[in-house]
Amino acid sequence: MNKEFKILAKPYIVWLFLLAILPIFVMIMLSFMFSEGLTFEESFFTFNQFTLLGESSTLEAFKNSVVFATLTTVISFVLGYFVAYNVFKSKFKNKFLILTLFILPMWSNLLLRTEALGNLMENNNILSDLLAGIGITLSIGIKGTPLAVIIGLVFTYLPFMILPIYTALEKIDYSLEEAALDLGLTNMQKFWKVIFPLSLKGVATGSILVFLPSMSGFAIPEILGSGNILLIGNVIEQSFKIMDYNLGSLLAIVILFFILGALYIVSKVDKEGETLL
């Protein structure tokens, strides 16, 4: 491409710096201070926030976040790979349509969807009401349990796992598969030795796209956990709500380490972020 076009990208770099990098420094500063909201009057340096990191609820929230996010990622990986592979192998004329089918639920508002899911998990809900009319009693009262939160997380973020894996599978050169078969591998072996390793790029990015929002989201744990289950995202949201920007910033910086880790993995596995979609 013409070198002349470089200029098109330069403003974007400035924009990214201002809006993405600069706030990080502000937040690092805020973590070390006590301030009333966002104003810097009456503020002073303190390490108070760091002691809060040791509190049992904060540690438990961290543990919860990591455990839930990992479980969600693993479950989504199994289910997602299964679906992506089957769509890939299928003989549908237009796979684009099938993939759009997976994106479609994301157009409905997340809060509404989670609330609807939460209703299903209560003992008395609209479905049980309808079914009672036909004479079936059904009650799945799992709302407020960790299971409910994990189900909610998987249902919401599964599409984020399916799409990158599918993209990676599509990119595999078919001649490689043919060569494997020619060399005498069975289908099963072909899958494990040839296809799966080549699709790992998609698995990695898909896992990141599921792990990070699961860890840091707060709407789903709050609604489906009936307020009992605290993830780190909930604690951050609480602290911003009561204007404790200092604690919130500190926790946000900690999450940032996870994000940087993810960026590092992406840089090693998928250099240009091709499968991030």
Partner 1 sequence: MKLFKKILLVLIVGLTPLILSSCGMQNKLLVLNWGEYINDEAVALFEEMYDVEVSISLSDSNELFYSKLKSGTTAYDLIIPSDYMVEKMMQKNLLQEIDFTKLTNWDASYGDYENNPYLMGLNGIRETMAPGTENYHVPYFWGTFGLMYNKLVPGLEEALETYQWDAYFNPDLRPEGTRVGMYDTAQFAYGTAMLYNDLDPNVVTDETIEIAYDTLMGAGFEMWGDDHLKKAIAADNLDLGFVWTGDFLDMFYVALGEGEGYDDVSYNIFIPDTTFAFMDAFVIPKNARHVDLAHQFIDFFLDPDMAYLNASVIGYPTPLQETYDMITDYVGEDQWLTDWARAYEEYYPDTPDFRGIPFANLDQALIAQLTLMVNNVKTDS
Partner 2 sequence: MTNYPVATLQEYGYKDYTVLKKIWKVTSIILVVLIVIMLYISVIMLAIQSVNSSSSVTSFGQFTFKWYGEMFSIRSLNSAIRNTFITSIVATLLATVLGTLIAVGLYSFEKKTRQKLMLFNNIPLLNADIVTGVSLMLVFSLLLPIFPYIFGPTTLILAHLFFTLPYVILSVLPKLKETDPNLMDAALDLGVGPYRALLKVIVPAILAGIFSGMLLAFTMSIDDFVISYYTTGNGFDNLSIWIYGSIGRKSLNPAVYAFSTLLTLMTMGMMLAYQFLMKRGKKHETF
Q: Is 270 in the site for partner 1 (CB under 8 A)?
A: no
C-beta of 115 vs 178, nearer to partner 2: 115
Cβ–Cβ under 8 Å, residues 149 and 68: yes
Which pair of tokens denotes residue 127? 């479905």
The verdict on 22 binding partner 2 (CB under 8 A) reads: yes
Residues 209-228, interacting with partner 1 (CB under 8 A):
226-228
Stretch that binds partner 2, among 54-62, 128-136, 139-147, 192-200 (CB under 8 A): 128-136
Count the neighbouring beta carbons within 10 Å of the beta carbon of residue 109. Answer: 9
End-to-end alpha carbon distance in the chain? 24
Task: Pick the stretch among 54-62, 137-145, 195-203, 249-257 that binds partner 2 (CB under 8 A).
Answer: 249-257
Minimum distance, C-beta of residue 81 to partner 1, in the bound complex (Å): 33
Which positions from 39 through 78 interact with partner 1, judged by CB under 8 A? 39, 52, 55-58, 60-61, 64
Given partner 1, partner 2, none, residue 175, with its beta carbon under 5 to 8 Å by kind, binds: none
Query: What percentage of the chain's residues is helix, strand, coil (to nearest 5)?
Result: 75, 0, 25
Nearer to partner 1, 63 or 193 (CB): 63
| Shortest Cβ 26–partner 1 spacing (Å) | 14
Determine the residue type at 252: A
Q: Which of residues 103-132 bind partner 1 (CB under 8 A)?
A: 122-125
Neighbours of 87 (CB within 10 A): 19
In the complex, what is the shortest distance from the CB of residue 199 to partner 1, in angstroms, rounded to a whole number? 38
The interface region with partner 2, picked from 43-51, 56-64, 194-202, 265-273 by CB under 8 A, is 265-273
In angstroms, the CA 111 to CA 46 distance is 37
Specify burial of residue 162 (Cβ count, 10 A radius: 0-12, 13-18, 19+). Answer: buried
Residues 139-178 that bind partner 2 (CB under 8 A): 155, 158-159
Nearest to 60 by CA among 229, 212, 255: 229
CA distance 102 to 159: 6
Check: CB of residue 165 under 8 Å from CB of residue 274: no
Beta carbon nearer to partner 1, 70 or 119: 119
Positions in 46-105 near partner 2 (CB under 8 A): 79, 82-83, 86-87, 94, 97, 100-105
How far apart CA 22 and CA 38 sit, in angstroms, is: 15
Q: How far is the CB of 106 from partner 1 (least distance, A)?
A: 24
Q: What angle do CA 44, 55, 263 make, to 5 degrees?
A: 80
- Residues in the site for partner 1, rule: CB under 8 A? 36-39, 52, 55-58, 60-61, 64, 122-125, 141, 144, 226-230, 235, 238-239, 241-244, 247
